[in-house]
Amino acid sequence: MADAVLEAAGLVKSYAQGSRRATALAGVDLSVAPGEWVAVMGPSGCGKSTLLNMLGGLDVPDEGDVHVCGQPLSALNETGRAMVRRRQLGYVFQAYNLLPQLDVAANVELPMRLAGVARRAARTQRDELLSALDLHELAHELPGNLSGGEQQRVAFARAVANRPSVLLADEPTGALDSAAARTVLDLLRAQHAAGQAIVLVTHDHRVASAADRVVIMQDGAIVDERRLSDSATAPGFTNLLAMEPW
């Protein structure tokens, strides 16, 4: 895809498992266009999270490469990949991964400061995000004092603070109750409507139903993918509209 904002080609990854090696990815190709929302689904252990780690430069493939905004990650060392993550990628983890010793405001401001954004500009952007996500009254609370839904909103604010080219999300609603999950899904929809490219790993058909395209993985490979508008009656494909969307 010539205009892809994120592109993976021939990704292969295996890990030592005792005296054997277990294959996590077996030649995965994936392209994401600017502003496209791709949901990745499949059974546990099929390679979804491994793929997301490769796309985000958190791990490196044994074979193949990932291009972020045209830049090959294989040409970069860890420092270089970290710079790409700071400037081009946002990451929302299921486990939130907030820094417990920093308050909400500092957690959201930190990635901007690491990316070289001036303090005043970073604080302005931070305050705008906290207000937009109804977190302004929690700005000076530590993460340990927040509910799961509140922590995930803070993690979301942190992930989009640098206005990334691609937002990566690993089961962002998996640990939340229904009300908090709906809130996070609404945030994702709003980002998508504003033109944000999103790659989201999920088990939840209701979350996947908001995407433009759904990719199905099994045994480390992509075995099917459809645009949602074409998938509702497609033979052999999971009907993602069978459940009421949030």
Instruction: Answer yes or no: is 74 within a domain.
Output: yes
Instruction: Answer yes or no: is 238 within a domain.
Output: no
CATH number at residue 161: 3.40.50.300
The strands making up 20-32's β-sheet, listed across from edge to edge, are 20-32, 6-17, 63-68, 71-72
Cα–Cα distance measured from residue 97 to residue 108, given in angstroms and rounded to the nearest whole number:
12
As given in the structure block, the two tokens for residue 48 are: 């979804």
Cα–Cα distance measured from residue 161 to residue 189, given in angstroms and rounded to the nearest whole number:
16
Q: Of all helices (H) and strands (E), which one includes residue 14? A: strand 6-17
Q: What is the structure's pLDDT at 11?
A: 96
Cα–Cα distance measured from residue 176 to residue 116, given in angstroms and rounded to the nearest whole number:
33
Indicate whether this model's pTM tops 0.85.
Answer: yes
Instruction: Answer yes or no: is 84 within a domain.
Output: yes
From the list 111, 90, 93, 92, the residue with the least C-alpha distance to 102 is: 111
Instruction: Answer yes or no: is 240 within a domain.
Output: no
C-beta separation of 62 from 137 below 8 A:
no
C-beta separation of 98 from 107 below 8 A:
yes
Residues 6 or more apart whose Cβ sits within 8 Å of residue 75: none
* Domains contained in the chain, number: 1
Position 113, amino acid: R
Instruction: Answer yes or no: is 243 within a domain.
Output: no
pLDDT tens per residue across all 246 residues of the chain: 558 999 999 999 999 888 888 899 999 999 999 999 999 999 988 999 999 999 999 999 999 999 999 999 999 999 999 889 888 999 998 888 999 999 999 999 999 998 889 999 999 999 999 998 889 999 999 999 999 989 999 999 999 999 999 999 999 888 888 888 888 899 899 999 999 999 999 988 889 999 999 999 999 999 999 987 765 545 555 554 444 445
Instruction: Answer yes or no: is 241 within a domain.
Output: no
- Bridge partners (DSSP) listed for residue 36: none
Instruction: Answer yes or no: is 239 within a domain.
Output: no
Conformation bin of residue 72: beta by default, left when phi > 0, alpha when psi is -120 to 50:
beta
Query: What range defines the domain where residue 107 resides?
Result: 6-231
The strands making up 37-41's β-sheet, listed across from edge to edge, are 89-93, 166-170, 197-201, 37-41, 213-218, 221-227
Instruction: Answer yes or no: is 67 within a domain.
Output: yes
For 49, 90, 132, the CA distances from 198, given in Å and listed in that order, are 15, 9, 19
